[in-house]
Structure 1
Amino acid sequence: MKSTQYFYLLIIIFFFLLNLIPSPTSATHDNTNTNTHTSILFTTSGRLSYAFDIFAVPTTHSPTKSNELQLTDGNSINFNGHFPASLPPSLVSHLPDHSLITEKLPFHLIYVTERNGTHHIFYDAVFHGTSQSPERRAILELSGSTRVQVPLVGVDQSDGRVSLKDKPSLAGESLIYVSTHEDSGVPRRSWAAVYSTHLGSGSTRRLTPKGVADFSPAVSPSGVWTAVASYGKKGWSGEVQELDTDIYVFMTRNGSGRVKVVEHGGWPSWADDNTIYFHRRCDDGWWSVFKAVLSGERGVDSVSTQRVTPPGLHAFTPAASTVNKNLIAVATRRGTSEYRHIELFDVVSKKFTEITRPVSPHAHHLNPFFSPDSSWVGYHKCRGTGNGRGSDTLLLENLRNPIPGISLFRIDGSFPSFSPSGDRIAYVRSPGLYVVNYDGSGLRQISSRSAFSTAWDPKRKGVIYTSFGPIFASERTEVDIMSINVDDKDLSYKQLTIGGQNNAFPSPSPDGKWIVFRSGRSGHKNLYIMDALEGEAGGLRQLTEGPWTDTMCNWSPDGEWIAFASDRENPGSGSFEMYKIHPNGMGLRKVIQSGTGGRTNHPYFSPDGKYIVFTSDYAAVSAEPISNPHHYQPYGDIFVIKSDGSEIRRLTHNSYEDGTPAWGPTFIKPVDVELPNGGHPCSFEDCHWLSVRPNVSVMDASFGLGSAKIECAQ
């Protein structure tokens, strides 16, 4: 009897213990996906040097440092402003009762702002003192100045969508802006589209037809019409300077009545409901501003256009005065200056008037806009040091990630990689290679040589692989792979490749025995595998072979796959697709292609190997490149895809070039991390192609131009 009782007791204990083991269903419900609580890093060249604020100077008398006003808060990246002609009730309700009876009416400003790496549109009302404080340079410096800030469109106002906002305008109660939150459904077709959000109700309407990309919207003075730079149905063909868009006009209310009014033009601005100024790059190589006069039919054949700014300088991103339709504000690049400046131009007298060069001659000024009475012209520029975060550069900038449980950061460098435990980051920043703790502490320069690509050894603590030599070089260029023990007091180096035939992009196998890399030793850039300790002297095997380029390889955590980028479908074209292959050379398959002629680069496996993060022009370009500082490729976003090529997701939405992503095992707290030793704010460059003087026989246009001969396709 006693033995029977023990038997039943054992049965009860068995079932009790069985119930403690979670079922597969409960494990899924508990969200035990190993990708959660991880982090993704990527680079945007120069982006963390931006410290933009919106400024304004008067047009009624000579601009000086003392009468330039800083209008935005000095803490965010603020750009692409607009002074609304009138305020709808939804915004008036935010103003204090005394605001309309003060001696100095406030500045009303609508602008794009990047806060925590996310784009928003804000309305600011800035009260700027009285006549007792006439000398003022920055609103923020005034005692007694107050500010009203109202978020209009952003994450909280758009159901969590994160997207670019481009050039916002106000039409009555409706905000008109660009967003990139809707997938175009076609690889390499831009997601940029114009939307209208009613500020009272919050209801949003898409004004751009499906399958079409629109940029740089401008609302006419009456609010009835909106003009955009658009591809129509033709799509983006990979332009990196001028987008070759056309100007379309449609009704602001609902997008109806859409018609093309100008072939080859961008950045429209209305002087009145029948006059549009826009820019284009002319046949003579100069960027110039044009004037289009619309007839009642508003078709491209019934619109007359004429070039208004002369050759001899670049003039672009025009803003038209609605008070004097012969007056425009433009950004210029003159041969006598390395900087982009704002100038006024009278299209009748052909006279330029300097606006920003007397105020800050050694700074870039972007995208001008007029106040409703044309007495002020606004623009954005780097605020420099001394205000807000302008004196420091971030090491890591947190961005909102649409995938829960994964933190997303922009790093002030390129080619980042995580140590196996995730506590340290290696990255490249000219000049040299750096290692830093993920919290920003312990920053060290490991080498001052020109490096690119980094990878940590998964087994040997403190060992990093990198390449030394020029990037974007030919097959025969001397580039070699090195291993560096960064924990060694003497930083011991070991050269792993021999011969210097452009050996780059090392990635170790998860067991630490082998390294896959790309090499041009055969005359073509293909993939090879070598011994991780001794390099190619300890064993070398060619993995891929062909008259094309296989590059940017990454070994999966389970050791089963190597992902890489290749132009094998069109060698030498610059078009890259993502492939994966087994380390034994079997099972080659394409993971994703970014349309014909597209680029998909820098694949990097997630810690569990089920996903791949990569950079691509899959979503094409998001804004007119000339409206931004220089980016080698003014397109490219970060995407995540399942390793089988399904379920692509876009992580970044901006008009810059995002690249070289890495996926690490540590969840970095989603807050910005400052560069320990400060930084160099405002060190970005203007678009390099604006430095070219197309025709040196044409003198730089003077400020009192007179009657210059103007020749360009009309």
Structure 2
Amino acid sequence: MEESRGSIAFFTSYRPPVPLDIFCCPVPPSSRQSELHLTDGSSYNYNCRPIPPAALKTIIKRLRLAPETIIDDDVDSGQITGLVFVSEREHNLETLHVALRFIANSEVKVFSLADIYGVELFSGARLEDNGCIAGGYEDGSTIDHYLVYVSTKEPVQVRRSPWNIVYKTNLRTGETERLTPLGTFDLSPSVSPSGKKVAVASFQGKRWDGEIKDLKTNIYVMSLENPFLERKRVKENGGWPSWGSENIIFFHRNVGDIWGVFRYNLSTGETIRVTPEAFDAATPAAIDETKVAVATIRQKSEFTDVRTETQYRHIEIFDMNALPQSLRITQNTRAKADHFNPFVMDGGKYIGYHRCKSDLLQHGDDVPRHFLKVQSPHEDVGVFRVSGVFLTFSKDGSKLAFVDNEFKAVWLADSKGLRVVFETNGPDSIFSPVWNQKKDILYVCMGPSFKANETLEIHAIPDVSSAARARREPRLLTKGKFNNAFPFTNPDGTKFVFRSTRDGGDKNYKNLYIMEDAEFGEIGGGNVARLTEGNWIDTQCQWSPNGNLIVFASNRDKPADAPERDHGLDPGYFAVYLTNVTDRSVVRVVRSGYDLSGHVNHPVFSPDGRSIAVMSDLAAVSADPMSLPTFLHSVRPYGDIFTVDIGPDDMEKNKDLGVRACHAQ
């Protein structure tokens, strides 16, 4: 039964190819050597918070690492400190872990929540994020400490709805309860200094509508003990809350085209902008009522820029009593590195953050390429994360090709190892490789990506895995200076389907075409037959394993009164369709929103042709996009993998089918 249906390889946008890890430095830092590494260095680690001593004792006692008297003494003296953070070390999922740092020997031991509380409570394909400690106060009796965090462990049946729910887990007993009300979805929890209240960025009272960077969440505050009864909205249009005191919340917000950090007084209702309007600032971490650490980007950059220091994301501290000046932290440790999501340690004596470990690369080193098996929610389907873009398996599964993040080179992984098989002269020049289903040929799209008004041609690279790199010359297959992309051959490898703007007019509509000669194309005299026709976008097409069907993404059913662009980018309203190669009949297989809004894209057939895997925004977003690294080719920070089972022999039974998640985080 194991992986009997095959495997899905995918690329994660907004995830750097070099691992993230957690560091801190004293305030103020004196030099590069001031920075301290806080984890054991294994895997990707990020979004960290310190664990207060009293809560840490509870965790260590549950782990039974030492007698209680020794634990208490070591924690009270600062010989053992603790952190809670996200790590990808377990099943390559993004889940919460606890690090114990032993000062005497600089040892770091890391435990998953399953290690501490059991797999019955913490298992399965899920995301966990934004862990923080609550409770530990007196209220007639001593209230236990709790871990408050976000999890996507409960699938949501409503289309285009987030899966993010905030929970609390009792650190002593492991008992877990939901803090987010039913039908509501919360992000970025933050606990007040007393441990009694939790602030969240919430979708309550609104729906996610495809927002890309600015989610326009509202800030709600709820009681730790009575979250459903004692919950209220305190601020509209805010995200990433952080408590400066029981009365002060810092948050970030987009105003115009600039992100800023603001200070809100719960008693007076006063809101003050803390950071200047001249540059972006986000993800605040309050030190006290007047001081806050933030991530800044003082100068915007483009993909082709060789960035200067001000174009990197840095951590700075702003003091309400000394504005507009700031204390620059990471500019003094690593001026040319991006730093994310600050957190406060030891009352503000140290500021923590995460960044890429790019300093471990030597000059001229290639960025490592990783193939990571991710826990799948379905035992019959394997799931692999690959640090490459536009992944394509050969028909027998023995070869995997992809392009790098710069869209500059084509990589191949097979029994001979991992290597570059073709490289262009510059970035944004090549993408979407795909195998001929019979021959050792890769088809690639050469030209700028995602620009319909630019010329984009399909080329064939013959003898990809066997010929020497110097002998691989791509062969041009299309002509006419149209935008041609996403080829895929029939099972015999003699023809390929592709999408093109030919016949698309001034608005660059895209339809599907069949190239009758897959080896030499229309340059060699081959004919091109039109498969679909209409004023819409048909794209991302693939031939079925039995040769009878072609699956593709299209916005052909977009309502006439829908906005021309979806949040200023593509037209949106993409669903997935099947067409019969013989009679040209078409059926819509799966859509995103109930009104067809949203995106279902990049469909691919399973090896047996009885399922289709898609990328879709059915699960909306799982994190505040402003907290994430940026991958400039990916215009949307969301998208999860779903599969839909089809009846390949009866088109009419495939209309508007349901899906199941294969990787929804």
TM-score by length of 1: 0.78
Correspondence for 2:11: 43
In structure 1, give the amino acid aligned to 2:607. Answer: P
Correspondence for 1:329: 293
CA contact (8 A) 1:128 1:145 kept: yes
Q: Which of 500, 507, 510 is equivalent to 2:491?
A: 510
Correspondence for 2:511: 526
Cα gap change, 1:549 to 1:289, in 2 (>3 Å): same
2:375 is the counterpart of 1:365: no
* Larger Cα-atom Rg: 1
In structure 2, give the amino acid aligned to 1:334. Answer: R
CA contact (8 A) 1:481 1:504 kept: no
2:110 is the counterpart of 1:149: yes
For residue 455 of structure 1, report the CA deviation from its aligned partner.
Answer: 2.1
Correspondence for 2:582: 584
For residue 263 of structure 1, report the CA deviation from its aligned partner.
Answer: 0.7
2:640 is the counterpart of 1:649: no
Cα gap change, 1:552 to 1:387, in 2 (>3 Å): closer
Q: Which of 171, 177, 200 is equivalent to 2:172?
A: 200
Query: Which segment is superposed worse, 542-551 or 116-125?
Result: 116-125
In structure 1, give the amino acid aligned to 2:237. Answer: H
Correspondence for 2:607: 607
Cα gap change, 1:71 to 1:586, in 2 (>3 Å): same
2:413 is the counterpart of 1:437: yes
Listed one character per residue, the Cα deviations across residues 568-606 of structure 1 (whole Å, up to 9, x for unaligned) are: 122762331111111125331111111142011110000
For residue 384 of structure 1, report the CA deviation from its aligned partner.
Answer: 2.9
Listed one character per residue, the Cα deviations across residues 178-203 of structure 1 (whole Å, up to 9, x for unaligned) are: 11222222221111121112233333
SS at match of 1:348: coil
Whole-Å separation in 1 of the counterparts to 2:348 and 2:183: 37
CA contact (8 A) 1:205 1:254 kept: no
Correspondence for 1:161: 124
Whole-Å separation in 2 of the counterparts to 1:446 and 1:375: 50
For residue 442 of structure 1, report the CA deviation from its aligned partner.
Answer: 4.9
Whole-Å separation in 2 of the counterparts to 1:193 and 1:428: 35
SS at match of 1:253: coil
In structure 1, give the amino acid aligned to 2:33. Answer: S
Whole-Å separation in 2 of the counterparts to 1:420 and 1:386: 37
Cα gap change, 1:237 to 1:518, in 2 (>3 Å): same
For residue 492 of structure 1, report the CA deviation from its aligned partner.
Answer: 5.5
2:134 is the counterpart of 1:171: yes
2:639 is the counterpart of 1:636: yes
Whole-Å separation in 1 of the counterparts to 2:414 and 2:73: 52
1:397-416 matched pairs, under 5 angstroms: 397-416=372-391
Q: Which of 318, 328, 349 is equivalent to 2:284?
A: 318
In structure 2, give the amino acid aligned to 1:288. Answer: G
SS at match of 2:526: strand
2:414 is the counterpart of 1:451: no
Cα gap change, 1:66 to 1:368, in 2 (>3 Å): same
Whole-Å separation in 1 of the counterparts to 2:494 and 2:123: 44
Whole-Å separation in 1 of the counterparts to 2:96 and 2:537: 43
Whole-Å separation in 2 of the counterparts to 1:387 and 1:459: 39
Whole-Å separation in 2 of the counterparts to 1:414 and 1:633: 15
Listed one character per residue, the Cα deviations across residues 374-399 of structure 1 (whole Å, up to 9, x for unaligned) are: 222211112334499x9962331221
Correspondence for 1:82: 49
1:259-338 matched pairs, under 5 angstroms: 259-283=232-256, 285-295=257-267, 303-321=269-287, 324-335=288-299, 337-338=310-311
In structure 1, give the amino acid aligned to 2:476. Answer: Q
Whole-Å separation in 2 of the counterparts to 1:46 and 1:441: 26
For residue 431 of structure 1, report the CA deviation from its aligned partner.
Answer: 4.8
RMSD of equivalent CA atoms: 2.6
For residue 73 of structure 1, report the CA deviation from its aligned partner.
Answer: 1.2
Q: Which of 419, 422, 430 is equivalent to 2:394?
A: 419
1:369-380 matched pairs, under 5 angstroms: 369-380=343-354
CA contact (8 A) 1:90 1:200 kept: yes
TM-score by length of 2: 0.84
Cα gap change, 1:292 to 1:105, in 2 (>3 Å): same
In structure 1, give the amino acid aligned to 2:530. Answer: Q
1:475-494 matched pairs, under 5 angstroms: 477-482=455-460, 484-486=462-464, 487-488=466-467, 490-491=471-472, 493-494=474-475
Whole-Å separation in 2 of the counterparts to 1:602 and 1:653: 16
Cα gap change, 1:456 to 1:371, in 2 (>3 Å): same
**Which of the pair has the greater relative contact order for Cα pairs under 8 Å at 6+ separation?**
1
Cα gap change, 1:547 to 1:64, in 2 (>3 Å): same
In structure 2, give the amino acid aligned to 1:603. Answer: P
Listed one character per residue, the Cα deviations across residues 661-709 of structure 1 (whole Å, up to 9, x for unaligned) are: xxxxxxxxxxxxxxxxxxxxxxxxxxxxxxxxxxxxxxxxxxxxxxxxx
Correspondence for 1:5: none
Q: Which of 590, 593, 610 is equivalent to 2:591?
A: 593
Q: Which of 453, 478, 482 is equivalent to 1:497?
A: 478
Query: Which segment is superposed worse, 377-386 or 218-227?
Result: 377-386
SS at match of 1:373: helix
For residue 367 of structure 1, report the CA deviation from its aligned partner.
Answer: 0.8
For residue 566 of structure 1, report the CA deviation from its aligned partner.
Answer: 0.6
Q: Which of 27, 50, 58 is equivalent to 2:26?
A: 58
CA contact (8 A) 2:377 2:663 kept: no
Whole-Å separation in 2 of the counterparts to 1:213 and 1:495: 50
Q: Which of 163, 171, 194 is equivalent to 1:191?
A: 163
For residue 483 of structure 1, report the CA deviation from its aligned partner.
Answer: 5.2
For residue 356 of structure 1, report the CA deviation from its aligned partner.
Answer: 1.4
Aligned residues: 596
Correspondence for 1:299: none
Cα gap change, 1:391 to 1:175, in 2 (>3 Å): farther
In structure 2, give the amino acid aligned to 1:337. Answer: T
For residue 552 of structure 1, report the CA deviation from its aligned partner.
Answer: 0.3
Q: Give ranges in structure 1 of 5+ residues lacking alignment.
A: 1-30, 130-143, 296-301, 655-714
CA contact (8 A) 1:211 1:233 kept: no
For residue 228 of structure 1, report the CA deviation from its aligned partner.
Answer: 0.5
Correspondence for 1:219: 191
Cα gap change, 1:478 to 1:458, in 2 (>3 Å): closer
Percent identity between the two aligned chains: 37
In structure 2, give the amino acid aligned to 1:452. Answer: F
